[in-house]
Amino acid sequence: MRPDPYAWSLAPEGIAVTVGLLLAYALVLRTYPAPRWRIACFALGATLVLAVQITPVATVSNHYLLSAHLLQNIALAEWAPALCVLGAPPGLAAALRTVAAVRVLTHPLVALPLWLATYFAWHLPWAYDAALTHPDTLLHLEHACYFVAGCLLWWPVLQHEPQRLTDGAKALYLFAAFVLVSPLGLLLSLLPTPIYDFYVDAPRLWGLSPLADQQLAGVAMTAAEVVVFFVACAVYFARFLREEESAGELIPGSR
């Protein structure tokens, strides 16, 4: 029997993960202080992790609609990691520079492929259906993979250590992330038949057929990535142009 779609799930795992994130962050702050705006960013990221696991978003995602599940995935793989990485104290990032594994995993040529592989692997029909039919094990593993891969993706953009990318390189990196992940959402929106058996057999909500739900999921996923990556890309590209203009003004005879 499926729960009411408007019921809060109040999953203890989601609460435990969020509490664990906040406790770990509090311990980090004792050694590496951070300004209030960074603390607020991390708290918001942790709150987002909690929200998509205990609110009706989780109930609808886990039992009814693919579109809600993709919204949950985007929050865990893109939005929450970005906020948590932005909230990490610079002192911690500098200290992690000495850890070889961190230097490797946060390298753009490693972090981006790892994030893409995580996204595409978990969206394979058999993996997607398996996670949903094993919510106490595989679904938690899926969410953990998204969050960790998302943190690695955003680290070289939002932290200066151990990678030191120019603003131009960051803009190019974010543009590449969008270009390479966007086919997934476009594919879901264009396929003529539903590909996830779990949602084909799920009760329908709001008059959405399985195919309409899948098309909505693909469009929403692509739109969300346009907003996130294009806005971030535009910010760093604008900074890059300002730097180039300033450098040009310093060169004699450049004007």
- Predicted local confidence at residue 12, as pLDDT: 83
pTM: 0.93
CA 137 to CA 174: how far, in whole Å? Answer: 32
How would residue 128 be classed by pLDDT, with cut points 50, 70 and 90?
Answer: very high
DSSP-based three-state secondary structure for 203: coil
CA 240 to CA 14: how far, in whole Å? Answer: 39
Counting residues of the chain whose pLDDT is more than 70, the rounded percentage is 96
Q: Answer left, alpha or beta for residue 253, where phi above 0 means left and psi between -120 and 50 means alpha.
A: left
Is the per-residue pLDDT at 251 higher than 60? Answer: no
How would residue 72 be classed by pLDDT, with cut points 50, 70 and 90?
Answer: very high
How would residue 250 be classed by pLDDT, with cut points 50, 70 and 90?
Answer: low
| Residue among 219, 226, 207, 196 at smallest CA distance from 66 | 196
Is the per-residue pLDDT at 188 higher than 80? Answer: yes
Please give the single-letter amino acid code of residue 186: L
DSSP-based three-state secondary structure for 209: coil
| Structural domain spans, the chain | 12-250
Peptide bond into 162 cis (omega under 30): yes
**Cα-atom radius of gyration of the chain, to the nearest Å?**
20
